[in-house]
Amino acid sequence: MSNSRKRDRQGDDFNVSFLDVICCGFGAIVLLLMITKSSLPGALEVSDVQQQGQLKRLQQELFEIRGETRILNRELTAKTEQLDDEALRLAILKSRRQQLQSELTELANASAADDKIRARLQLALQDLNEEMERLLGRSHSAKNSLVGGIPVDSEYIIFIIDTSGSMFNYAWPRVMDELIATLNIYPKVKGIQVMNDMGNYMFSSYRGQWIPDSPSRRKAIIKRLRTWNPFSNSSPVEGIQGAIRRYYAHDKKISLYVFGDDFSGGSIRRVIKTVERLNASDNKGERRVRIHAVGFPVLLAEANPAEQQSAYRFAALMRELSYQNGGTFVGLNDYR
């Protein structure tokens, strides 16, 4: 009986000890899990804080860069506008000076009664020369054939004007101003022609001919331009190529002025190659037809971003054509 109780007590002791061991093991495992889980969020929080700090720093740097970019763009726009204004003023001054010189020549053989008029003209001419010297610097030459960086040595001028809705509805007053300013750069030429970007003539009676230059003809061109609005496909290519094919001549110096705001045509490179073939160089390596261009930023202000791409393509095309054909590209800051 006593032996049986001893065996039962020993079995109970063994069971209790085994349970103690199992409980301690589970407790250790639970404790390890708690320690591990509690440490992970802390590490993640530290990592999140570091990333947020880096993000804020990068955002701040981006804001600073954008601010500096806006300032530089404003300064560039102001300087460009100043240069455009000075170029236009120089053109007007040159035109006025040539006018005064012409009047002085007419008065050269006049009677002594016109001495006062001659003196006033000479004084006005001197003032104009001083103003041009102020703008150009003392090293400028009165025989220089450049006005505002634009060569004005041509004897014939052709206007290729975009008559699309975007130009006619938004930029037409500025188009009028630019055409008048360009005509003022050339007080007297041997011939003028006006076409739209499709190659349609302003005056059908002068199709394929030169319009004789005279004050009355110039007034007629300006008056007709006010309401002139033939169909346009918003591409200057047809007008440029048509003008060169029809008017290119080895014995004539011709300047072509392209007014437009976009290019909706195909390959720019193909157009450049075609014009290069049509406008062959003379024996001095110079192109007989100069190509100048004035870009009107209508689409950049009025169109959505998807449509603005054609404005950039116009600038790219005309900048390259002007460069390769002895001309100048002028991008206006405002179309109004």
For residue 132, give Cα distances in angstroms to 98, 136, 190: 13, 6, 26
CATH, range 149-331: 3.40.50.410
**d(Cα 247, Cα 309) in Å, to the nearest integer?**
32
pLDDT tens, N- to C-terminus, the chain (336 residues): 555 555 555 555 555 566 666 777 766 676 666 665 544 455 555 566 677 777 777 777 777 777 777 777 777 766 666 666 666 666 666 666 666 666 666 655 554 445 556 556 556 656 555 555 555 554 444 444 444 456 677 899 999 999 999 999 999 999 999 999 899 888 889 999 999 999 999 999 999 999 999 999 999 999 999 999 999 998 999 999 999 999 998 889 999 999 999 998 888 999 999 999 999 887 777 888 999 999 998 988 877 777 788 888 999 999 999 989 988 898 888 877
Amino acid occupying residue 255: S
| Pairing outcome for strands 191-196 and 156-161 | parallel
**Among 135, 124, 136, which Cα is nearest to 99's?**
124
pTM for the model stands at: 0.58
The packing angle between helices 237-247 and 268-278, to 10°, is: 10
- Residues whose CB is less than 8 angstroms from the CB of residue 35 and which lie 6 or more positions away in sequence, other chains included: none
What 3-state class would DSSP assign to 281? strand
The phi, psi pair for 164, rounded to 5°, reads -70, 170
